[in-house]
Amino acid sequence: MNACLPTSTTGSGDKNPVDFGEFVRARGGRGSIVAQPRMGFSDPSRMREGLIATKNADATTVGTLTLDSYTRVGDHEAADTALREGLALNGYPIVNHSTETTNWVLDGVRDDEFPVQVRHGSATPLNIFASMVKLNLNATEGGPVSYCLPYGRVPLQDSVRNWSQCCEMFTQLQDRGIEPHLETFGGCMMGQLCPPSMLVAISVLEALFFCHHGLRSVSVSYAQQTNLDQDIEAVQALRALCAELLPTVNWHVVIYTYMGMYPVTDHGCERLLSTAAELAVATGSERVIVKTVAESRRIPTIAENVQALEHAHTSTRVVRPGVGGSTELANSQTYQEARALVHAVLNLHNDLGQALLLAFKQGYLDVPYCLHPDNAGRSRSYIDGDGWLRWGEVGSLPLGHLVAGGRSRRITSSGLLDDLSYVRRKYDEEPSALAVGV
């Protein structure tokens, strides 16, 4: 595959890459957003084409190298076999492609006005980080909890150790005058039906974990859930906790378009993406990860990704009047719950990695419906009549004083199935019957 590529590269390694975090903070927030796709192709020419199309979209964008499933689980031999046999993968195998190949993909595309982030999903990412450091790729995402519990059975202890080593490896870029940036995936745990306070807490805790290991530029994430008003409350809580706990760190907020069962109609997909953009603008968030109209059916094309980027950009021009104005952060239910979770974990151990392990062992952190062996599995959630995610059972979470009735709500299998498809049903309704954000 590499034979068709130019034999030399120019420019890709001649200049240090821009600080991803500073780039986003300078262009996002205050009514504007930086839009980003989830785009990855195994063919280098196709990957380069996707980055160029993202760069040329009618929106403020950053690029993405999304890695393939084999690379995510460390099966580099299988990725190599697929490349030799000309089989397409569902992402870019950064470990298997040569440095020269990836430099060619980035050459003349990545620059001061278009940084590129690597997105993967690995609890064992040492080889991925080694490749990024070698390539001076200074932006990626993940975390010891958020890239472990939802994706397999790697022990949490191993993931914490791996991510500790990867953070320290990533900081080697600082010695070259390059600022590495890490985005926590913690605001997306399980994609759906995780109450916002848990998403906020894990996002903040992972950001603190990154900083504990030497990172100075981070982003905190929040995945759009079932109700716009509750999401606004959650992102306000996230921003408040970051202001309290990360006062000297370069940080920004990234909103993920809904990560659960996606609408199947084009109008449903577009309205859901519009609501994610609205959430970002209403809360001063700086970046949005988009989804396309093809999400429920297949891997989207480059053109569909560009359409989603431009749709998100256009959606920011019209924000519902009065959204997100005057929530009292100190009295917000989500803020109080998230703060209780964060401080309960921080009080367990001076080393945050050990604190996270103890928190899951003791049930202070417990993700609803997560089947990972290191998750207690005693908490439950449900969607109430107003479309808000609520705790049904809190297990050992330190929230008993905050969650009324949180130990007695009966969750049925039929109710869970209805909740899982709630957003799909809501946004696939006829547009005239749907009030966005209600």
pLDDT in tens, 47-61: 999 999 999 999 999
Residue 317 predicted with pLDDT over 90: no
Burial 346-382 (b: 16+ CB within 10 A, else e): bebeeebbebbbebbeebbbbbbbbebebbbbebbbb
Q: What is the pLDDT of residues 10-67, one digit of tens each?
A: 444 568 999 999 999 999 988 889 999 999 999 999 999 999 999 999 999 999 999 9
Domain membership flag for residue 85: yes
Domain membership flag for residue 280: yes
Domain membership flag for residue 422: no
Domain membership flag for residue 362: no
Domain membership flag for residue 410: no
Looking up residue 41, the CATH number of its domain turns out to be 3.20.20.240
Query: Three-state DSSP class for 383?
Result: strand
pLDDT, position 322: 41
pLDDT, position 315: 87
Q: Give me the sheet containing 287-289, strands edge to edge.
A: 34-36, 287-289, 250-256, 217-223, 181-184, 139-142, 116-119, 63-66
Look at 229-238, 250-259, 398-407 and tell me which has the smallest mean pLDDT: 398-407
Q: Domain limits at 279?
A: 2-315
pLDDT, position 14: 62
Q: What pTM was estimated for this model as a whole? A: 0.92
Report the distance separating Cα 41 and Cα 30, nearest Å.
Answer: 33
Domain membership flag for residue 145: yes
Residue 207 predicted with pLDDT over 90: yes
pLDDT, position 43: 96
Mean pLDDT over 312-341 rounds to 73
Residue 8 predicted with pLDDT over 50: no
Domain membership flag for residue 333: no
Number of folded domains in the chain? 1
320 pLDDT band, cuts 50/70/90, is low
State percent of the chain over pLDDT 90: 76
Domain membership flag for residue 350: no
Q: What is the pLDDT of residues 134-191, one digit of tens each?
A: 999 999 999 999 999 998 899 999 999 999 999 999 999 999 999 999 999 999 998 8
